Structure 1
Amino acid sequence: MRLHTLKNVKGAVHRKKRVGCGEGGGHGKTSGVGGKGQKGRSGGSIRPGFEGGQMPLYRKLPHRGFNNYNFRTGYAVINVGDLAGLDASISEVNAEVLFKAGLVRKDVTSLKVLGDGEISRALKVTAQKFTGSAKAKLEKAGGQAIEA
């Protein structure tokens, strides 16, 4: 099979809708946009939530509460079991080493180590946060958990 031998499935290709080319084409006169008014004009559309000038519902309801989403601290998470799968020549682990290994993205600013999985070799791990189980597993294997 070659790309130039591929054919479209029957019914996959449609004719372009030709509007405004007379009544015989089925899309004449108002060209499928109805009568007059804002929605019948070129570029005429109303924004979501607009209720024709009436006070919209989203402005009638009270806005309460607090949202911390913009100011959150996002952590890239890695499990102890993933650290065990790293190359045997690596003894010190940080975000840069994990990026090179393909386990985290480049733009990681904060790293958190979770305790899922097992580890049997000593690693010196530098991260912003560790769970209690992750720290215990690393230290039990003879490694270190350094909070940066």
Structure 2
Amino acid sequence: MALSLNNLKPAPGSTHKKKRVGRGPGSGLGKTAGRGHKGQKSRSGYSSRAGFEGGQMPLQRRLPKRGFTNKFKKQWIEISLAKIDANFNAGDEITPEILHERGLIKKAKHDLVILGNGDVTKSLKVSAHRFTKTAKEKIEKAGGSISEIAKAVAADA
């Protein structure tokens, strides 16, 4: 039999009948419809607040506050030389934008640092905000060049 729109059906066992609740004692889920007896949770329109523990002091309030988060923390996107070497050809120019286009790093909103993990087998022109010492040595040893991108500093008014 040829496959066409009029004879499509799901694989056996992949679909189930919808559970019909509150349809009398014969259904097995009549009367309270699986909600137990009385109480706030049995009513229609009930919705619980996240972290609500029935009036008991919630866990997020029982635990002490510790430390703080520095919102000015410097964040880096890290990529290894092994990844760069595997995804680029000799003589290619590598910038954060190109790495993002190829899907090797997420959006280039943080500064990029090149790590010295792995080996470089071809000469590459790499531009990044920072390089580790071993990454610099390996790129230059393979005949490549590096250029550090200077991040523009906003002038204080």
TM over 0.5: yes
Q: Hey, what's the Cα distance between the residues in 2 that align with 1:7 and 1:61? A: 50
| One-letter amino acid of the counterpart of residue 139, structure 2 | L
Equivalenced residues, count: 144
Q: Hey, what's the Cα distance between the residues in 2 that align with 1:94 and 1:115? A: 17
> Is structure 2 residue 15 aligned with structure 1 residue 8?
no
Q: Which runs of 5+ in 2 are unaligned?
A: 150-157
Runs of 4+ more than 6 Å apart: none
Aligned to 1:128: 129
Give the secondary structure class of the aligned counterpart of 2:118.
Answer: coil
Q: Offset of 1:18 from its aligned partner? A: 1.0
Alpha carbons of 1:45 and 1:94: their partners in 2 closer, same or farther (altered >3 Å)? Answer: same
Moved more, 81-90 or 36-45: 81-90
What are the residue-to-residue correspondences of 1:10-89 with 2, within 5 Å? 11-68=13-70, 72-85=73-86, 86-89=88-91
User: Any idea what the Cα deviations from partners look like across 1:104-129, whole Å, max 9, x if unmatched?
Assistant: 34x22322211122224332211012
Alpha carbons of 1:101 and 1:19: their partners in 2 closer, same or farther (altered >3 Å)? Answer: closer
**CA RMSD, 1 decimal:** 2.7
User: Any idea what the Cα deviations from partners look like across 1:89-115, whole Å, max 9, x if unmatched?
Assistant: 52x32122323444334x223222111
Alpha carbons of 1:19 and 1:116: their partners in 2 closer, same or farther (altered >3 Å)? Answer: same
User: Any idea what the Cα deviations from partners look like across 1:51-71, whole Å, max 9, x if unmatched?
Assistant: 322332321332121234x65
Aligned to 1:117: 118
Q: Which runs of 5+ in 1 are unaligned?
A: none
CA contact (8 A) 2:122 2:144 kept: yes
Q: Offset of 1:46 from its aligned partner? A: 2.6
Moved more, 96-105 or 121-130: 96-105
